[in-house]
A and B are shown apart, each in its own frame.
Chain A
Amino acid sequence: MTADGGPELVQLLTPEGERVHHPDYDVELTPDQLRGLYRDLVLVRRVDAEATALQRQGELGLWAQCVGQEAAQVGSGRALAPGDFAFPTYREHGVAWSRGVQPLQLLGLFRGVTNGGWDPHEHNMALYTIVIGDQTLHAVGYAMGMQRDGDDSAVICYFGDGASSQGDVNEAFVFSAVYNAPVVFFCQNNQWAISEPLERQTRIPLYRRADGFGFPGVRVDGNDVLAVLAVTQAALAAAREGQGPTLIEAFTYRMGAHTTSDDPTRYRVAADLEAWKLKDPIERLKVYLARNGWAGHEWFAEIEAEAEALAVDLRRGCREMPEPEKTSMFDHVYAEPHALVDEERAQFEAYHASFVGGGH
């Protein structure tokens, strides 16, 4: 398998920060919009770094890092229209950022104060899904609902290279194809499923899987925010116009661990990481902005200061996050009253009230 993504890789901004052109995809952005994307990338990376640090300090039980994948997430997230709906895995912090989900809302799940964290309908983004690939079917069902409602919005669905092996992902491909559902499958191929390399998931490039299901597949440079934006916009437009699903394979690299629980030095070589650092999504945009005179030292320093302020807020907010009410585990198990839950809640309350002072 080609380590650089091969000639089919759609790229608009090289790792050296040079703007290149592609026969099928393009995006016209103002300097202001380009600066906006850069700001997104930097702030998302800072959120990720800060959350990683908070896990090391014992404030989070776990964190799934997205470092290295910021362009794939921000580029695709910024391609969405307000009425579109996103279905993430548990690593889509950059997508959440683009959907207006506050970084602190992401931390609750990993701190263990909630199993959710935000209102999916407020942000048009489903909650993180931990079981690999399950959300791809939810996305197709939601898109089928849009069809039936006559809504010309589209759905984007995130998953990884490991998930591409799951039955549900393949069933999602089948359902979306036969119902022509307005859904974009966005596979972030970050090369590793915990310790299993891409070679353990597939023997063909992942975007070519789409051929077997009868819809287009495209491989984009996942570290190139402009290319990701252009390709995702095109796929969403096709979905809205009734052309059905597209599979986008964002060719990228997970620069961190799968989660803070694993140790990537046990299963991959340092040289790979060094090679991918040269393709960093943030650096190439920085060079492009600077070279064209659209941003200078002072502006970059402002963004750094904003990132630092965001990190301070995140640290404080994380530590100040209230513990959940003990009885909240009995809330919302069912939408309608359920005798057993009511009974067990009463038992729980009576047990805790039985201690001196009424607490435990």
Chain B
Amino acid sequence: MAVTTMAKAINAGLRKALENDPKVLLMGEDIGKLGGVFRVTDGLQKDFGEARVIDSPLAESGIVGTAVGLAMRGFRPVVEIQFDGFVFPAFDQIVTQVAKHNARSAGRTPMPITIRIPYGGGIGAVEHHSESPEAYFAHTAGLRVISPSNPADAFAMVQQAIACDDPVVFFEPKRRYWDKADVDESLDLATAPSPFRARVVRPGTSVTVVCYGPMVRTCLEAASAAAAEGIELEVVDLRSMSPLDVDTVAASVRRTGRLVVVHEAPVFLGVGAELAARITETCFYSLEAPVLRVGGYHTPYPPARLEEDYLPDLDRVLDAVDRSLAF
């Protein structure tokens, strides 16, 4: 057990995957000598060579499109999209090709591709560097979409994504790259929890708060603050947007009778909208209040000087909790 950052935990996970399976290879812009702009791939090219840790031309569609061919050839490509807002040139390849190959070929050409995308705001970046595009991908059948919220999960989940025979869009919450926590590098993936299941990260009785990725820490802080006022929030880390673990959320809502969904992505047609609908369908008689959502606005991601007002923070989460309890 060692204390490490999320960035280093993902690096360790990638290293394990490269060690354990010669068919795993990494490709992306600046991932080699530089080690990636966030240093997530630091040192991997030095140790595994240029044939397995590939610095690519500056072309996102090319990175994903060639990964399709590599996957057909039997490789397990892990591609890095440098920032969330840069994934759209590759959007066509991801949704029309990567997502559909397994179905079109009746399972003969599966796409065990992991698409790593640093996402979300809070680091004061310029435009196109702070977005949360997960709903686009979760909406597409054939893709799996997950996001870790802490270093231990990041270490396990990146390896699980690579081992999965389906394409996995792996969203890394970039403002949590430097969060530190214990990571057990001797973890046995065979017995580790599925990356496609949600987890109750703080039990409580008053309101269920569902979140994922960068919002988990925010919601845990909100839960601590609420506890001081006698409100016990149950915080659920969703971890996976597709598949969506409705069962775990529903079980929690049946205990608390209330649900607040929190994510950085715009509220409109987001993951929270799906959860609200599903929970209304499955837990109608358990609900004491309508499902409430906290998230980004229906605006382009604002300039960095305004992002504190755009991003859900502890106060906005607690405000939604109060509104839920007021019903």
Among residues 229 to 286 in chain B, which have CB atoms less than 8 Å away from a CB atom of chain A? 242-246
What's the tally of chain A residues with a CB closer than 8 Å to chain B? 42
Interface contact B243-A168, CB-CB below 8 Å: no
Quick check: is A143 within 8 A (CB to CB) of the other chain? yes
Residue of A141, A167, A338 near B243 (CB, 8 A) is: A338
Interface contact A336-B107, CB-CB below 8 Å: no
Quick check: is B43 within 8 A (CB to CB) of the other chain? no
Interface contact B105-A139, CB-CB below 8 Å: no
Quick check: is A262 within 8 A (CB to CB) of the other chain? no
> A141 with B69: in contact, given A171-B57, A335-B107 (CB under 8 Å)?
yes
Contacts of A300 in B (CB 8 A): none
Interface contact A332-B57, CB-CB below 8 Å: no
Bound CA–CA A336/B110 (angstroms):
10
Quick check: is A172 within 8 A (CB to CB) of the other chain? yes
Contacts of B105 in A (CB 8 A): 116, 119-120, 127, 332
Interface contact A335-B110, CB-CB below 8 Å: yes
Bound CA–CA A137/B93 (angstroms):
9
Interface contact A171-B106, CB-CB below 8 Å: no
Bound CA–CA A167/B92 (angstroms):
11
* Interface of chain A, main secondary structure: helix
Bound CA–CA A147/B61 (angstroms):
21
Contacts of B96 in A (CB 8 A): 131, 134
Interface contact A134-B62, CB-CB below 8 Å: no
Bound CA–CA A138/B100 (angstroms):
14
Q: Within the complex, what minimum Cβ distance (angstroms) separates B56 from chain A? A: 8
Interface contact B243-A339, CB-CB below 8 Å: yes
Quick check: is A144 within 8 A (CB to CB) of the other chain? yes
What's the tally of chain B residues with a CB closer than 8 Å to chain A? 48
> A168 with B104: in contact, given A334-B166, A336-B164, A338-B243 (CB under 8 Å)?
no
Interface contact A149-B73, CB-CB below 8 Å: yes
Bound CA–CA A149/B70 (angstroms):
11
Interface contact A168-B106, CB-CB below 8 Å: no
Encoded as 1 (CB less than 8 Å from any B CB) or 0, chain A from 85 to 102 comes to 001000000000000000
18 A-B pairs with C-beta separation under 8 A: A120-B105, A129-B97, A134-B65, A138-B69, A141-B66, A141-B70, A141-B71, A143-B69, A144-B66, A145-B72, A149-B74, A168-B62, A175-B57, A332-B102, A332-B107, A335-B107, A336-B165, A340-B244
Interface residues of A (CB under 8 A from B): 87, 115-116, 119-121, 126-127, 129, 131, 134, 136-149, 167-168, 171-172, 174-175, 178, 331-336, 338-341
Q: In the A-B complex, list the 9 residue pairs whose CB atoms are closest, starting with the nearest.
A: A141-B69, A137-B65, A145-B73, A141-B66, A142-B69, A171-B62, A335-B165, A138-B69, A116-B104
Interface residues of B (CB under 8 A from A): 25, 51, 56-57, 59, 61-62, 64-75, 77, 89, 92-93, 96-97, 100, 102-110, 112, 141-142, 144, 164-166, 196, 242-246
Q: Can you name 18 extra interface pairs (CB under 8 A) apart from A145-B72, A336-B166? A: A115-B104, A119-B108, A121-B109, A127-B105, A131-B96, A138-B65, A139-B69, A141-B66, A168-B62, A171-B57, A175-B57, A332-B102, A333-B141, A334-B102, A335-B112, A338-B144, A339-B196, A339-B245
